């Protein structure tokens, strides 16, 4: 990979070791390129109509629909290039799958699950995330017998009953990659690289925050120390963190509350409790990242909100956007215990998910900035050729010609229901067509078709048999 133009220099091994031991606060880039406020789109879908969409859920259409599809296409092409194969799991699963894996005491399980009783009385829920279902599928489909590692990518909707705000919805989409069956730091680095390069291909400069939370044993030892420390500072903690002290003290480290931040700054750090193998593994992940020139920020307070993680954890944030304005674009980590926890054999694994709606917000933010700076280039796919027909016979032939053009890779817009040529030419102007193909009664009989340059109005009669070559020549493709 060629070096990034303004890639941050990553620290040397020694500096990294030092930072691992000393850093108490994430080093966040000072470069702030945008303070654009993104409006709460959720409000827009609450117009006073009889069937408003549910809170935190929205329709996707028009320009956003095109952006959504572009994110899908880029994700697909990167995932495929790195050898991931596409999988899908059901949207509805047993509630216990998530309670078991994500863990009681997490916000997702305690507050945000869309759980309901199925007709047979069993507890089911809309999936809040996709990793536990992938681990379940690995077990159910006997994937341990396949050549390891098994690399899978997926795309789909997730549901979390959270308080909606900009970038936080109750139904959202994730692009995910998971690698199961291999315990090697290069797997972690590859996954980070796939996510990072997907964002980069979309034009988003992201920074990677990374930490290691070690094995469950490392964490148990660390928690004794952490809880001792936090209890000694209990009176300074926010109400939410006081509650977390009982249920999930590790998550206090993630708190954005200013009161909590002051306490967290001096808290013991998990990296000091890592066992030798975990420390070595983490150092090795960082070395691989150095090698592929992916800039990262060692973030000792990063613990992530799901219980299944072991060792490496990471998140992607948009470069230059103030922390108060952003949620993460995505996140992931290693989850070596999850498959065994769900009843399979012990299987090392790691993965990530990018939040599609967060990516769309970042793209919109970039577009707004570019418009302000006058550097915006409209890359929206323009329909460059319009097909107009006149008369019943021409309409019949039109479908055949449109299909021939499609097979040649040329997409033509058209409205076969319209019969007036004037109305069709107006439509051609509206969609920004550079050429219109006109097929009338006479042309059907002659085996010809008219090409019209929409700017100059110049028309030419061409042989229908050569239509693909002619149109390609006109469009310069
Ligand atoms: P997560 O951090 O919970 O991880 O979610 C990943 C990403 O999904 C977030 O960084 C964010 O971009 C997006 N996201 C989460 N909640 C919402 C929401 N309410 N509205 C809009 N976007 C949201 C996971 O889900 C893990 N399964 C990731 C993973 C894959 N770990 C290993 N493999």
What integer is the mean pLDDT of 224-237? 94
Peptide bond into 149 cis (omega under 30): yes
Q: Which pLDDT value is given to residue 27? A: 39
Cα–Cα distance between 88 and 130 in angstroms, integer?
9
pLDDT at 188 over 50: yes
Superfamily of domain 62-214+274-368: Bira Bifunctional Protein; Domain 2 (3.30.930.10)
pLDDT at 33 over 70: no
Cα–Cα distance between 57 and 59 in angstroms, integer?
7
Q: Which pLDDT value is given to residue 325? A: 63
Q: Which pLDDT value is given to residue 46? A: 52
Distance between Cα 330 and ligand 1 center (Å): 6
Q: Which pLDDT value is given to residue 244? A: 87
Distance between Cα 354 and ligand 1 center (Å): 6
pLDDT at 360 over 90: yes
Q: Which residues pair with 389 in a beta bridge?
A: 439
Highest averaged pLDDT of the listed ranges 15-29, 283-297, 366-380: 283-297
Q: Which pLDDT value is given to residue 299? A: 94
Band (2; pLDDT cuts 50, 70, 90): very low
Rounded percentage of the chain residues whose pLDDT exceeds 70:
88
Rounded percentage of the chain residues whose pLDDT exceeds 90:
74
What integer is the mean pLDDT of 142-168? 96
Q: Which pLDDT value is given to residue 475? A: 85
Least confident of 91-105, 295-309, 375-389: 375-389
pLDDT at 210 over 90: yes
Cα–Cα distance between 100 and 127 in angstroms, integer?
13
Cα–Cα distance between 316 and 206 in angstroms, integer?
6
Distance between Cα 331 and ligand 1 center (Å): 6
Residue identifier of the C-alpha nearest atom 2 of ligand 1: 331
Distance between Cα 261 and ligand 1 center (Å): 23
pLDDT at 19 over 80: no
Band (37; pLDDT cuts 50, 70, 90): very low
pLDDT at 348 over 50: yes
pLDDT digits (tens, 9 = 90+) for 440-460: 999 999 999 999 999 999 999
Q: Which pLDDT value is given to residue 98? A: 97
Q: Which pLDDT value is given to residue 231? A: 94
pLDDT at 43 over 90: no
Q: How many residues does the chain have?
A: 477
- Say if CB 458 and CB 436 are below 8 A apart: no
Q: Which pLDDT value is given to residue 378? A: 64
Ligand 1 neighbours (beta carbon < 6 A): 129-131, 160, 162, 167-169, 172, 174, 176, 178, 305, 327-333, 335, 351-353, 355, 357-358
Pocket test for ligand 1, best of 174, 178, 307, 328 (most atoms within 8 A of CB): 174
The closest-lying atom of ligand 1 relative to the alpha carbon of residue 306 is: 3
Which CATH architecture is the domain 385-475 placed in?
3-Layer(aba) Sandwich (3.40)
Distance between Cα 377 and ligand 1 center (Å): 31
Cα-based distances in Å from 400 to 105, 393, 403, 449 = 61, 12, 5, 13
Domain ranges of the chain: 62-214+274-368, 218-265, 385-475
Q: Which pLDDT value is given to residue 15? A: 55
Question: In the 3-class helix/strand/coil scheme, how is 64-113 assigned residue by residue?
Answer: HHHHHHHHHHHHHHHHHHCCCEECCCCCEEEHHHHHHHHCCCCHHHHHCC
pLDDT digits (tens, 9 = 90+) for 88-143: 999 999 999 999 999 888 889 999 999 999 999 999 999 999 999 999 999 999 99
The closest-lying atom of ligand 1 relative to the alpha carbon of residue 130 is: 27
Distance between Cα 174 and ligand 1 center (Å): 7
Q: Which pLDDT value is given to residue 376? A: 75
């Amino acid at each position: 990979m060629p070096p990034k133009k303004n890639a941050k220099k990553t620290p040397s091994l020694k500096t990294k070791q030092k930072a691992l031991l000393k850093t108490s606060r994430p080093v966040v880039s000072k470069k702030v390129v945008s303070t654009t406020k993104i409006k709460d789109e959720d409000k827009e879908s609450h117009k006073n109509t009889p069937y408003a969409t549910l809170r935190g859920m929205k329709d996707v259409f028009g320009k956003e629909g095109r952006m959504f599809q572009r994110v899908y296409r880029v994700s697909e092409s990167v995932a495929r290039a790195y050898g991931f194969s596409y999988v899908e799991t059901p949207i509805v699963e047993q509630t216990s799958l998530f309670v078991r894996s994500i863990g009681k005491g997490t916000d997702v399980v305690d507050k945000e699950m869309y759980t309901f009783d199925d007709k047979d009385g069993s507890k089911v829920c809309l999936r809040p995330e996709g990793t536990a279902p992938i681990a379940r599928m690995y077990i159910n489909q006997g994937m341990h017998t396949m050549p390891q590692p098994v690399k899978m990518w997926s795309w789909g909707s997730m549901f979390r009953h959270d308080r909606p705000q900009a970038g936080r919805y109750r139904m959202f989409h994730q692009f995910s990659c998971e690698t199961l069956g291999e315990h090697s730091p290069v797997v972690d680095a590859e996954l980070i690289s796939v996510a990072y390069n997907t964002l980069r291909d979309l034009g988003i400069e992201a920074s990677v925050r990374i930490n290691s939370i070690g094995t469950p044993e490392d964490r148990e030892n660390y928690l004794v120390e952490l809880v001792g420390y936090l209890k000694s500072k209990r009176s300074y903690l926010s109400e939410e963190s006081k509650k977390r002290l009982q249920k999930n003290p590790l998550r206090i480290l993630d708190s954005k509350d200013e009161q909590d931040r002051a306490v967290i700054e001096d808290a013991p750090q998990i990296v000091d409790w890592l066992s030798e193998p975990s420390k070595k593994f983490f150092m090795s992940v960082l070395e691989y990242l150095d090698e592929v020139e992916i800039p990262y920020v060692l973030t000792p307070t990063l613990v992530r909100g799901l219980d299944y993680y072991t060792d490496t954890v990471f998140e992607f944030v948009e470069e230059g956007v103030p922390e108060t304005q952003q949620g993460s674009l995505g996140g992931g980590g290693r989850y070596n215990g999850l498959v065994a926890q769900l009843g399979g054999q012990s299987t090392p694994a790691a993965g990530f998910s990018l939040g599609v709606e967060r990516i769309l917000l970042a793209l919109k933010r970039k577009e707004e900035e570019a418009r302000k700076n006058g550097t915006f280039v409209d890359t929206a796919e323009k329909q460059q050729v319009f097909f107009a027909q006149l008369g019943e016979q021409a309409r019949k032939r039109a479908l055949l010609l449109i299909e021939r053009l499609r097979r040649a890779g040329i997409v033509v817009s058209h409205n076969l229901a319209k019969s007036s040529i004037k109305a069709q030419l107006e439509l051609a102007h509206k969609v920004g067509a550079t050429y219109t193909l006109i097929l009338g009664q006479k042309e059907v009989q002659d085996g010809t078709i008219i090409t019209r340059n929409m700017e100059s109005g110049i028309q030419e009669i061409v042989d229908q048999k050569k239509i693909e070559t002619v149109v390609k020549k006109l469009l310069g493709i």
